Structures are given as structure tokens and as C-alpha cells.
Structure 1
């Protein structure tokens, strides 16, 4: 079911995801560095929209394995490190400026880099679980490789990626996935909706019945995009 609000169209992935959305406990906004979608203005719109519906907002931007990705794409080590540092400083500035301009009227908004969760017991447990299934489950591997191929195709100008590029991209993806599995466990909230503006290839698997790599029962996912913009 699609939910249309004044600013965004929301597509909860399952009926359970819709129920968690209705509870309004918490929303996680994931931000990718180097993605022009995440301007300061967009962050402002998202925070204003979310603060009217949720009791708490967390924004997490991916700051792990970025330099390694640039290195795999052909940058020299020093250049890759400088490029990654520049992009991550820029995305943090945009996020913080967007939050400040949103003026969320008392709704707590916290901003984190993924690296802040290094050593966090729940995050580390989930990360090890992701890596285990990535190594042993063909469906998980295929889903992650589809995500990696989509990302890399825009960077290398074609669909064929080398082994080093694929490995770096899978490390980047596996660092993000714990928040798609159990944000409530990591952040200590009753339930959570993880939001992104495009569908994630692994979502079908994470919300399937049966065993394997699955989202927790109080974890929801929704595609959230501005009104009038197609998926």
C-alpha cells in the first residue's frame, strides 16, 4: 500500500512494515555519500516530514570502506584517501545543515557515521551475521552482488566489474546491512522504519518467511521519495 503525504510518497514493504510505520516510534534515514539526491535541502524536507510522524529520528551516513572503493576504482592510495575524506566531510556538513534548517520542533534528531558503531555489540554481531550469510548463502550473495553491480555500473561506465571492485563494494554494503536487519536492537528503540528513496534488491529476502538472513520483527522498511518522482 502506498501512503501519500504532503511532501513524500511512502511505500512500506509489507503489511507489518505498514503497522510499524503507523506506530511512529522511530525512523532511520540512510544517506549515501557522493549521491546528489541527498542535498541539504532534501535532508531538511525529510527531517520536517519525519518530525511530524515519528518520536525520534536518526540519520546514518555511510563512512566505512569509502576510500577502499575509490582505490578499487583506480585512484592511487593517497588520492583515494583524500577523495573519501573530502566526500565524507561534505556529506556530514550537508546533513547537519539540513537538520539545522529543518528546526524539528523538539523531535530528537541524531546524526551518525557508520564508523561510530565499530565495537557496538549488537552492530558487530549483526555485521558478523551478514558476512556469514554473504559467504554461505547463494541468495544473499546474489542480492548483494546485484546491489554492487548497480552501484559500480554508474562508476565504471558499464556492467562488468573486476574482482577487486566487487569485493570493495560488498564490504561497503555489508557495513550498511545491520541497520536493515535490526535498527531497534542497535539504537535501543521499540521499533523502526528504515527509509531509502529507491528499492533495495535484498528487501524481498530480508522480509521473506522462514530462516536465514531476516529483518527483526520490529524492523520495517519503506521506499520514501518526493511526490511526483517515480521509483
Structure 2
């Protein structure tokens, strides 16, 4: 599918990531408003606490830091929406509280956990990606592996959005937009795992809202 064929877009942004400046998010918001019938920008605070805790083996105050950063990003996007005159449910934030009250998300989260437990290739891909989130100072092999399992929980919490977001938010089709293509996501959309994305779910790489790398669409 071409990107314009999707009725909905999820513009993925990350906490603690300077790539998502106010100017860049504003550009993405404007573009999505004119390209899709609906769009969401996810702001998930608590899942990021797993990576903060895992990064140095254990980080006290991870939940507090994640919530604080989540509020900052939430407020930044809300201001951008207000400045761009976006005040409808068609283009809005998607919060962690929205998901934990959503039965379809919770069922998909169970499916993701099941795949993590039963599919060795999927589990290893998750742990490999989680390892990139850790501090290189964690050199003890057992400590680093334990930290990988903790950091992987952040990935597992987000993966339902790449499996079947149309079921979660009730739309005909959706495309997940991000600025790079981690190996885990490439393998997922290439069908390497027992866990498969819905036919209604797409994934595109964005370097900017106006520059879509069509060759990297799945």
C-alpha cells in the first residue's frame, strides 16, 4: 500500500530523544493532518521506566523520571495541536492510560508475551534490540542479560501497536511511522516470527514528514 492509502497514522515519538524537537513534531502534525483521516501520537511514560531501570542495572526513581518526561512531551504536543488549530478526536494523543483500559490492546499484549515465551527467534530479536538500550558499563554477562529482559518489557508493551493497531483504535487500516527501522521491526514485517502483523497494519520510515523513503515501506 502507498502511505496515502492508509486511513490512520501513528506517529511514533520517543521520550528522552532529542530527534523529536518542537519543530519536527510540528511538521509531522501538520503533514498528518492533511494526509490522513485520523492520526495519533503516542506518549507512553511507564513503559520507559523499564529501560531507565535496566540502563545501569537498576535506577532508583525511574518511574518518577519517566512520568516527568511523559508530562513534558504530552504538554509539548498538546501545545502544538492548539497552535495548529487541532481540537478534534480525529488527530490526538494516545496515552498509556488509554491503552491499559483497552481490551483489544490487553489481548494483543498477551499474544506478544506468548510469542516471547515460545518463539526463540522472536525472543532473541527482542533481547538484541533491548541490549542496544543499555549502558555499556554493564559488563557482567549475567547482569547484562537480566537487564536485557527488563528493558525488553518496554518493547513488548509497544509491539501491539505494530501488530494490529486498527483493532485497538477501531479503524480500517493504520500505518506506524518512525524515523528509523530497527532490525526487530524489519524482521516482524518480513514474517520471520510466529507473531504476525495484521494485513491492515503498515509500517513506514520517515526521515521527515515531507521525505518518505518509499523503498523502506512494508
Indicate the TM-score class for this superposition, using the shorter chain for normalisation.
0.7 to 0.9
State the SS of the aligned residue for 1:60. Answer: strand
| CA deviation map 1:11-33 (0-9, x unaligned) | xxxxxxx34x2324111111211
| CA deviation map 1:150-206 (0-9, x unaligned) | 222xx4467877133212211111000000001100000110010011102223332
Q: Quick one: structure 1 residues 156 and 95, their matched pair in 2 at CA, closer, same or farther if it must change by over 3 Å? A: farther
Q: Quick one: structure 1 residues 115 and 174, their matched pair in 2 at CA, closer, same or farther if it must change by over 3 Å? A: farther
Unmatched runs of 5 consecutive residues or more in structure 1: 1-17
Q: Quick one: structure 1 residues 200 and 114, their matched pair in 2 at CA, closer, same or farther if it must change by over 3 Å? A: farther
RMSD: 2.8
TM-score, normalisation: structure 2 = 0.84
Confirm whether residue 123 of structure 1 aligns to residue 120 of structure 2: no
Residue 49 of structure 1 corresponds to 31
Residue 96 of structure 1 corresponds to 78
Unmatched runs of 5 consecutive residues or more in structure 2: none
| CA deviation map 1:109-166 (0-9, x unaligned) | 11022232114111011111111111111221122122212222xx446787713321
C-alpha separation between the residues in 2 aligned to 1:175 and 1:221?
Answer: 17
Q: Does structure 2 retain, via aligned residues, the 8 Å contact 1:57–1:107?
A: no
Residue 136 of structure 1 corresponds to 118
C-alpha separation between the residues in 1 aligned to 2:191 and 2:154?
Answer: 26
Residue 8 of structure 2 corresponds to 26
Residue 166 of structure 2 corresponds to 184
Q: Does structure 2 retain, via aligned residues, the 8 Å contact 1:114–1:175?
A: no
Residue 51 of structure 2 corresponds to 69
C-alpha separation between the residues in 2 aligned to 1:228 and 1:51?
Answer: 16
Q: Quick one: structure 1 residues 184 and 76, their matched pair in 2 at CA, closer, same or farther if it must change by over 3 Å? A: closer
Q: Does structure 1 retain, via aligned residues, the 8 Å contact 2:177–2:206?
A: yes
Q: Quick one: structure 1 residues 52 and 105, their matched pair in 2 at CA, closer, same or farther if it must change by over 3 Å? A: farther
* Matched pairs, number: 210
TM-score, normalisation: structure 1 = 0.79
